[in-house]
Amino acid sequence: MLNMWQGPRFSAAVFLIFLALSGCGGGEAVLETGVSGSLSEVLSVRLNYRYEADVPAPSIENNAAAPAVPSASVQFHFDQNRPFEVLHRTLVSPDGTRIAAVYSRTVDTELEYRLDMYSSEGVLLNKMTADSMAVHFPETIQWAPDSRSIAFVAMLRTESPQAPAATAPTPPKAAADEPTAENQPDAEISPSPTIVPTPEAPTGVLTFRTEQIYISDADGGGLKPITQNEGLIYFYYVWSPDGAMLAALAATAREWEFLNARAAAEGERFVPFGRPRVVEKTGRERRLDDGLTNVPPVWSVDSSKVAAAYDKQIRIYDAIGDNPTQGAILLQNELLISSKAYETAQQADTNAQPEEPPANANLGQQITVLPDPATLVSFNPIVMLYWPEEGLLYFQTAFVKRMKNEADDVTSFQRWHRLVLTPQAMTPAT
């Protein structure tokens, strides 16, 4: 199984900064009526929300997940023609016409990979990565929704011994007494098989000492870096639904090593934190926030906005426009109140008689004092976002602990909530 986050890095302290931003409601009690219309035309700072606690878990489609078993046609090509290379996984384009192959040579450094592009029939079309490049974080490689581009992270390859030529094995020499075409004149002579030239790896590709995002076209050509920030490590990215941009997370190399060392000291697996940003296919990049998060950002369905989570806060950013805005939704109080209601309901269900109806955590309760967070085991940070519809943004809270020994991992109190988003009502001019 591939481990995305292993590997050495550098060191420095990181601090989370949570800024209270203007322009968002503070929960159900302060909602305005809102107006009808598409949210794509509404600035993030002009959004209203309604918080709904403990809703049924949404049905999440993971179209980007690669199958556990590589493509049979590509695996056959490796078995027959590439004896010194190991195929690790394949990623089929959304339209089914192309297959990206993630592989390594037997002499390559561990956790450094290469990429090639195949047709759906298993024909090698192009070697995608230069020999000087090492693909990192292979589980994050993603096809664009329109199948026109594929994105991956790579950096300068660690020097390794020269790999043997990736040619097919030579068959053993025929025995002297074995019948051959030369000593049997009447033997039928088969025509020589057509030799298909192996594509050459690209050269002259700009490569960096830290992980950058690269894209290539559907045939595996046109390779270029769309980020060029030496010293930053880009470790997560997701395509916008229209295939024009990526929402990414990146951290400095020093921050990466500091967090990695801290996790090791606490006996935990390293989970990286980064700052969200929008990166266009042209290479134009805009950092969305100074706050660090380990929650993957998500796109709105119309590609106009990006949402990111920070502990118990969600921020929504405009991804397009000349004057982009952002809005912060502070959920500390709402989560405190709903966590208290959730645990009260759980206790009531435990004590209820069989004929009694189950308690509902969403039933309104009169609250005069905010609950003490230390007394609520279900009061936990946001760990996942999901934005399936224009006006519905789901988020999950949970207690998560990832230990070096996976058998010691802890995930508890997984609860789904959602925000119903609407435009703010316009105030008439006076």
3-state DSSP assignment of residue 264: helix
The CA-to-CA distance between both ends of the chain, in Å, stands at: 64
pLDDT category at 304 given cuts 50, 70, 90 is very high
Q: Which residues contact 93 (CB under 8 A, 6 or more apart)?
A: 99, 100, 143, 147, 150, 218
How far apart are alpha carbons 278 and 255 in whole angstroms? 20
Q: What is the pLDDT of residue 175?
A: 40
Domain boundaries, the chain: 28-60+332-423, 72-161+197-330
**pLDDT, tens only, 331-374:** 999 999 999 999 999 998 777 655 544 445 555 556 789 999 99
pLDDT digit string (tens) for 2-34?
444 555 343 332 222 222 333 333 333 233 445
Pick from 216, 248, 252: which is nearest to 235 by CA?
248
Q: What is the 3-state secondary structure (H, E, C) of 284-343?
A: CEEECCCCCECCCCEECCCCCEEEEEECCEEEEEECCCCCCCEEEEECHHHHHHHHHHHH
Q: Indicate if the pLDDT at residue 196 is higher than 80.
A: no
> Taking the model in full, what pTM does it have?
0.82
Q: Which two tokens stand for residue 234?
A: 């880009």
How many other CB atoms are found less than 10 A from the CB of residue 138? 22
Report the C-alpha gap between 155 and 133 in whole angstroms.
6
- Token pair 């219309």: residue: 37
The pLDDT score that the predictor gives to residue 353 is 57
pLDDT at 93 over 80: yes
Share of the chain above pLDDT 90, in %: 73
CA contacts within 13 A on the Cβ side of 50: 11
Furthest C-alpha separation in the chain: 106
- Structure token digits, residue 406: 């996976």
Tens-place pLDDT, residues 251-288? 999 999 999 999 999 999 999 999 999 999 999 999 99
Domain 72-161+197-330, CATH among 1.20.1080, 2.120.10, 1.20.1300, 1.10.260? 2.120.10
Query: pLDDT digits over 207-266, tens only?
Result: 999 999 999 999 999 999 999 999 999 999 999 999 999 999 999 999 999 999 999 999
